[in-house]
Amino acid sequence: MRVLITGITGFVGSHMADYLIENVPNVEIFAIRRWRSRDDNISHLYSADKYGDDKQDHIQFIEADLLDRGSLANAIHISNPDIVYHFAAQSFPESSFLTPVSTLTTNVIGTTNLLEELRLTKERNYCNPTIVSVSSSEVYGNPTEDEIPITETNPIRAANPYSISKVGHDLMSQYYHKAYDMKVIITRMFSHEGARRGKRFALSWFAYQIVMAEKSENFPPYAPSFPTHPIKHGNLDSVRTYNHIEDAVHAYWLAVDKCDYGEVYNIGGDYICTIGDALDMLISKSTNPKAFIKELDPARVRPTDITLQIPSSDKFREKTGWKPTKGLEEICDDLLNYWREIL
């Protein structure tokens, strides 16, 4: 089986590669990376310590860019994929407020470039892969209370340039399925976290600050009489439904065999809480929880925020039999351990 992954250097793409290598016999992975991308998340894929000396039998890296159709055509020609996982994106909602044009260009034009090159290869009878087009729960924006839990038929109320770009991504994916009978499956993943998550995202940012404090020279080895280390945060009242990254990539694998082409599927965990609740759990797992105090950072408050994300994943679960196996406890442990290992 030949699998092409876009966005291999990212959080989800790197975990998808891990899942395939560890669980899918005889898989061949072709991974698109940009020359300027950091390799922190995939350094273990270069190491024999992780998968042995035969790792090159599993994965081949291809230099390409979503905005360069020639490089995409080359990547598709080399990989001749049975499956395409399209993870590559400008995936930071906060950054999208500062770079809306770049966000729209990468996520809409870049996705269109990929789909167009795959269409051309299909017309030439070269390959006709199943395409998992990875969208986001952010397209739903802020639902009303009577629209909870969020289903695939909820109104689209994109509330920031990132979510608007993902609406465009969804529409182009649906268009290529309807117009050219391409085998596209659209997934809308809700909050998913774990090791390797970048610190631009709230939970990883909290874990990073906790570990930086633990490693500082003035971190108290005993319970202080007053907190000594602030944890900067944005809106703590937003409600999220957390899913562990290992459960997320398992869901993406099941989607290929079980889901219908042209359909949209919500995927979300079972653990519902506020971002503040998640921060409290992270602090409780610190070596000295009483050392921390919460401090609002206006720079981390979005101009428009999505505050209520509680999904219904019934459609996906009924199709695949998938259910999450890990919760917020494991997410917090993995995030803290990740930062403790690399800082």
Residue indicated by tokens 């290869």: 121
What is the reported pLDDT for 58? Answer: 79
**4 with 85: CB under 8 angstroms?**
yes
Mean predicted confidence (pLDDT) in 258-278: 97
In a domain? residue 294: no
Mean predicted confidence (pLDDT) in 258-287: 97
Specify the CATH number for the domain of residue 155. 3.40.50.720
In a domain? residue 222: no
* All residues at 6 or more sequence positions from 260 whose CB lies less than 8 Å from its CB, including other chains: 185, 319
In a domain? residue 55: yes
pLDDT bracket for residue 305 (50, 70, 90): confident
What is the reported pLDDT for 222? Answer: 84
In a domain? residue 131: yes
Answer whether residue 4 shows pLDDT above 90.
Answer: yes
Q: How many domains does the chain have?
A: 1
What is the reported pLDDT for 253? Answer: 98
Q: Which of 325, 317, 187 lies closest to 244, judged by CA? A: 325
In a domain? residue 276: no
- φ, ψ at 335 (rounded to 5°): -65, -45
Mean predicted confidence (pLDDT) in 293-301: 95
What is the reported pLDDT for 52? Answer: 55
Mean predicted confidence (pLDDT) in 265-274: 97
Q: Average pLDDT of the chain? A: 94
pLDDT bracket for residue 284 (50, 70, 90): very high
What is the reported pLDDT for 50? Answer: 55
Answer whether residue 92 shows pLDDT above 90.
Answer: no
What is the length of the chain?
343
What is the reported pLDDT for 5? Answer: 98
What range does the domain containing 60 cover?
A: 2-193+244-268
In a domain? residue 224: no
Answer whether residue 48 shows pLDDT above 60.
Answer: no
In a domain? residue 337: no
Mean predicted confidence (pLDDT) in 148-165: 96
Answer whether residue 49 shows pLDDT above 60.
Answer: no
Residue indicated by tokens 């971002």: 275
Helices and strands per DSSP (H, E), number in the chain: 12, 12
In a domain? residue 51: yes
- Provide the percentage of residues in the chain whose pLDDT is more than 70: 97
183-189, strands of its sheet edge to edge: 59-63, 28-33, 2-6, 83-86, 130-136, 183-189, 264-267
Encode pLDDT of 192-246 as tens digits: 999 999 999 999 999 999 999 999 988 988 878 888 899 999 999 999 999 999 9
